[in-house]
Amino acid sequence: MAERFGVLLTGVGKRYDIVSAFGEHAFTIAADPNPLAPARYAADLHVTPPRIDDPDYIPFLERVAAEHDVRAVVPLTDLDIEVLAAAGERLPSFVPCAAVARATFDKYETHHLLLSHGLPSPPTVLPGEEPQSFPVMVKPRRGSGARSIHPAADRAEMEFFVGYVKEPVMVQRLMDGPEFSIDLLCDLDGRCLNAIPRTMIESRGGESIKGTVIHDEQLIELGRAVGEALGVRGPCTVQAFRDAEIGLGVTDVNTRFGGAFPAPMYAARPGRTYPELIVRMARGETIEPHVGDFAHRHTFTRYFWQLELDADLRPTGRDIVARGPRDPRRASAADA
């Protein structure tokens, strides 16, 4: 068996699935300041870092990395991508360069970055500028989790929401077609290894909870092009709409694992799940690009599960049923 080294996952939050998947291939360390972040309990070791804006944040992670032979740092939220990028070689982070990290944290800058690479982005203006057409979406430049996003049918509604949302916003064409996400992975030279599109059947708070993996050549190529133009290093999720009038437009780029981690896990060929490829790259292996090679048509539908913590906030190991969730294949269907 290959040597086991450390993978440090930051801002793990609720992402029990991601931490568990890395645990199949490496010694996992979860860094999250919140003692109630459930995914810290999926890791082999959890640590409590200082706040991201604390000058000791990066030195703290460096000390953890040195102690546990960490060869990959993977942020699971948007919040520290830029500071990890700025720390450069000090940590083996799977993040893009600092300029791209900064630009993709601001959706208006992302819009111009995409256009500068000849990539499709819906018409977007700042408050005070005239939109090309209505309806529009008033959305925060630095939003996440679908927070404070408001459709506006006309100028009066637009002006109302621009004043109502208490943070910098932008005004974007309201895209009418179906929405998709493309989960892609790039190597440390910014080469796209795979790009796996899925439908967004239902989302809640920015997490996709139902969707189907599809082999749509146009979306695969869009994902690859965005990843390589931006020099993504590691995972990235590109969201796009297919509008009846203007065609594809990219509405969001997140240079981290997207809100439907299981989709590319199920779709990847054996040995080529994204966590496994990241661990292999961390080991120094070169991975051959295999863009478009994945299983498709399968649908995922997600649900909640939980941990019980005792009075000292230690996991009790108890569950509400004896052996965890029931085997779903036991269920039979009947039409009344």
Ligand X SMILES: Nc1ncnc2c1ncn2[C@@H]1O[C@H](COP(=O)(O)OP(=O)(O)O)[C@@H](O)[C@H]1O
Per CB under 5 A, the segment of 2-10, 227-235, 248-256, 324-332 that binds Mg ion is 248-256
Chosen residue from 80, 82, 252, 276 binding ligand X by CB under 6 A: 252
Chosen residue from 122, 227, 235, 264 binding ligand X by CB under 6 A: 122
Chosen residue from 97, 98, 99, 149 binding ligand X by CB under 6 A: 149
Regarding 33 and contact with ligand X (CB under 6 A), the answer is: no
Taking the complex as a whole, how short is the minimal distance between the CB of residue 203 and ligand X, in angstroms? 6
Chosen residue from 252, 253, 279, 302 binding Mg ion by CB under 5 A: 252
Between 15 and 71, whose beta carbon lies closer to Mg ion?
15
Regarding 174 and contact with ligand X (CB under 6 A), the answer is: yes
Question: Which residues fall within 8 angstroms of residue 166, CB to CB, at 6 or more apart?
Answer: none
Taking the complex as a whole, how short is the minimal distance between the CB of residue 250 and ligand X, in angstroms? 10
Torsion of the alpha carbons at 29, 32, 34 and 36, rounded to the nearest 10: -40
| Residue length of the chain | 336
Please list, residue by residue across 55-68, b when 16 or more beta carbons sit within 10 angstroms of its beta carbon and e when fewer do.
Answer: eebbebbbebbeeb
Between 64 and 152, whose beta carbon lies closer to ligand X?
152
> What 3-state class would DSSP assign to 92?
coil
Taking the complex as a whole, how short is the minimal distance between the CB of residue 209 and ligand X, in angstroms? 12
Between 21 and 200, whose beta carbon lies closer to Mg ion?
200
321's tokens: 């049923």
Chosen residue from 13, 49, 92, 143 binding ligand X by CB under 6 A: 143
Taking the complex as a whole, how short is the minimal distance between the CB of residue 259 and ligand X, in angstroms? 8
Chosen residue from 206, 231, 262, 292 binding ligand X by CB under 6 A: 206
49: nearest Cα among 21, 84, 16: 84
Question: Which residues fall within 8 angstroms of residue 284, CB to CB, at 6 or more apart?
Answer: none
Regarding 183 and contact with ligand X (CB under 6 A), the answer is: no
**What does 139 bind: Mg ion, ligand X, none (CB cut-off 5 to 8 Å by kind)?**
ligand X
Regarding 183 and contact with Mg ion (CB under 5 A), the answer is: no
CB contact at 8 A, 19 and 42: yes
- Dihedral sign (CA 296, 197, 190, 43): negative
Question: Which residues fall within 8 angstroms of residue 295, CB to CB, at 6 or more apart?
Answer: 213, 266, 267, 268, 269
Regarding 172 and contact with ligand X (CB under 6 A), the answer is: yes
Q: What is the CA radius of gyration of the chain?
A: 21
Secondary structure (DSSP) of 14-67: T-HHHHHHHHTTSEEEEE-S-TT-GGGGGSSEEE-PPPTTSTTHHHHHHHHHHH
Chosen residue from 76, 114, 137, 219 binding ligand X by CB under 6 A: 137
Residues that bind Mg ion (CB under 5 A): 252
Per CB under 6 A, residues contacting ligand X are 122, 137, 139, 143-147, 149, 172-175, 179, 203, 206, 239, 241, 251-252
